[in-house]
Amino acid sequence: MRKYLAGVAEGNPAEPTDPAAKPTIRSLSRTEWALFGALLIGLVVLFALASPYFLSAGNMSNLFTTMALAGILAAPATFLMVAGQVDLSVGATAAICGVVLAGQAQGLGLAGSIVLSAAVGIVIGLTNGVLVAVLGIPSLAVTVGSLAMVRGLAYLLPSGQVVPIAGFGALGNARPLLNIPLPVLILVVVLVSAGIILRYTAIGRGTYRVGGRPALSRLHTVRAKVLVVGVFAASGAAAALVGMIITSQLSTAVPNVADGVELTVLTAVLLGGASLSGGRGTVAGTALALLILNVLDNGLSLLNVTSYWQQFASGALLLLALLIDRVRWYTRHRRWSRRANRAGAAEAAPAAGKGAPANTAANTEGEAANKPGDDARRPDPADDQPGRRAGITRYR
Amino acid sequence: MPSAYAGRVRPGTGRRPGRRMLSLVLATVLAGGTACTAVNPSPPETGQTSQTGPISTSPSSTPSGASTSTTTSTTNPSGDFGSDHFTPFRTTVPNSAEGRRIGLIGLDQANPYSKLVSESIKEQATIAGAALVYCDAENNAEVALRCARRLAAQGVDAWVTFQPVISAGQSICGAGPKDVPMISIDSTQGNCQSTRVGIDDQWAGFTLGTELGRFIQRRFDCQVGVVVYLVDPTDGFVHRRRATGAGIGLDTICPAATDRPPPVQLEASGQDAAFAAVGKALTSIDKGQRVLIVGANDGLTLGAVGAARAAGRLDDVYVGGIGADPRSYCEIAEDPHWVGDVASFPEKYGQLVMPYLVDLMAGKPVPANLFVRNEFIDASTIGEHYDVSDCEQTP
Domain ranges of chain B: 95-199+346-364, 201-343+378-393
Of A29-43, B21-35, B149-163, the least confident: B21-35
CA dist B238 and B45 (Å) reads 10
- Kindly provide the residue ranges of all beta strands, DSSP E only, lying in A34-86, ordered along the sequence: none
pLDDT at B269 over 80: no
For residue B177, the distance in angstroms to the closest alpha carbon of chain A comes to: 11
Nearest to A157 by CA among A74, A92, A99: A99
8 Å CB contact of B22 and A107: no
Give the largest Cα separation in chain B, rounded.
63
Which ranges of A251-279 would DSSP assign to H, the alpha helix?
A: 261-271
Query: How many Å from the N-terminal Cα to the C-terminal Cα in chain B?
Result: 48
**DSSP-based three-state secondary structure for B293:** strand
Chain B, nearest residue to A299 by Cα = B150
**Domains in chain A, CATH or no CATH each:** 27-329 (1.10.3470)
By Cβ distance, the residue of B2, B141, B153 closest to A252 is: B141
Q: Taking CB atoms and an 8 Å cutoff, what residues of chain B touch A314?
A: none
For residue A62, the distance in angstroms to the closest alpha carbon of chain B comes to: 6
CA dist A367 and A361 (Å) reads 10
For residue B148, the distance in angstroms to the closest alpha carbon of chain A comes to: 10
8 Å CB contact of A148 and B19: yes
8 Å CB contact of A148 and B10: no
Give tens-digit pLDDT for A220-241.
888 888 999 999 999 999 999 9
CA dist B291 and B266 (Å) reads 13
Beta-bridge partners for A252: A164
pLDDT at B360 over 90: yes
How crowded is the C-beta side of A50, counted as CA atoms within 13 Å? 15
- Do domains B95-199+346-364 and B201-343+378-393 share one topology? The answer is yes
Rounded percentage of chain A residues whose pLDDT exceeds 90: 40
8 Å CB contact of B145 and A250: yes
Chain B, nearest residue to A116 by Cα = B1
Instruction: Please tell me the predicted confidence (pLDDT) of residue A100.
Output: 94
CA dist B57 and B50 (Å) reads 9
Q: Taking CB atoms and an 8 Å cutoff, what residues of chain A touch B178?
A: none
8 Å CB contact of B145 and A304: no
If one counts every other C-beta atom within 10 angstroms of the C-beta of residue B387, the result is 9
Size of interface A-B (CB pairs under 8 A): 151
Nearest to A201 by CA among A176, A227, A178: A227
By Cβ distance, the residue of B9, B19, B20 closest to A161 is: B9
By Cβ distance, the residue of A103, A246, A249 closest to B5 is: A103
8 Å CB contact of A152 and B26: yes
Instruction: Please tell me the predicted confidence (pLDDT) of residue B224.
Output: 86
Selection from A150-164, A318-332, B45-59, B151-165 with the highest mean pLDDT? B151-165
For the segment(s) B95-199+346-364, the CATH number from 3.40.50.1970, 1.10.357.10, 3.40.50.2300, 1.25.40.10 is: 3.40.50.2300
Q: Taking CB atoms and an 8 Å cutoff, what residues of chain B touch A65?
A: 149
pLDDT in tens, chain A (396 residues): 344 333 333 334 444 444 455 666 666 777 788 888 999 999 999 999 998 889 988 899 889 999 999 999 999 999 999 999 999 999 999 999 999 999 998 888 889 999 999 999 999 999 999 999 999 899 999 999 999 999 999 988 887 778 888 888 889 888 888 889 999 999 999 999 999 999 899 999 889 988 888 777 778 888 888 999 999 999 999 999 999 999 998 888 888 888 889 999 999 999 888 888 888 889 999 999 999 999 998 998 888 888 788 888 888 888 888 888 788 778 877 887 888 888 777 776 665 555 444 444 433 333 333 443 343 344 444 444 443 443 333 333
By Cβ distance, the residue of B23, B168, B174 closest to A160 is: B23
Say which DSSP state A377 is in.
G
Nearest to B184 by CA among B144, B146, B154, B155: B144
CA dist A121 and B24 (Å) reads 23
How crowded is the C-beta side of B265, counted as CA atoms within 13 Å? 18
For residue A119, the distance in angstroms to the closest alpha carbon of chain B comes to: 15
Tell me the mean pLDDT in the region B343-349: 91
ipTM higher than the 0.90 cut: no
Mutation site, A59, A144, A249, A297, interface B, largest B CB count within 10 A: A249
The amino acid at residue A47 is F
By Cβ distance, the residue of B13, B139, B153 closest to A53 is: B153
Chain A, nearest residue to B270 by Cα = A160
How crowded is the C-beta side of B278, counted as CA atoms within 13 Å? 39
Instruction: Please tell me the predicted confidence (pLDDT) of residue B259.
Output: 67
pLDDT at B374 over 50: yes
8 Å CB contact of A155 and B19: yes
By Cβ distance, the residue of B12, B22, B25 closest to A161 is: B12
By Cβ distance, the residue of A103, A152, A169 closest to B23 is: A152
Q: Taking CB atoms and an 8 Å cutoff, what residues of chain B touch A257?
A: 140-142
Q: Name the phi and psi angles at A255, rounded to 5.
A: -65, -20
**DSSP-based three-state secondary structure for B248:** helix
CATH 3.40.50.2300 holds for B201-343+378-393: yes
Instruction: Please tell me the predicted confidence (pLDDT) of residue A294.
Output: 92
8 Å CB contact of B141 and A58: no
Chain B, nearest residue to A168 by Cα = B171
The arrangement of strands across the sheet holding B264-267 comes to: B36-38, B264-267, B226-231, B291-295, B317-323, B338-343, B375-377
Nearest to B161 by CA among A166, A249, B151, B113: B151
Q: Taking CB atoms and an 8 Å cutoff, what residues of chain B touch A255?
A: 13, 15
Q: CA separation (Å) from A123 to A235, A247, A248, B306?
A: 10, 20, 22, 42
Q: Taking CB atoms and an 8 Å cutoff, what residues of chain B touch A258?
A: 142
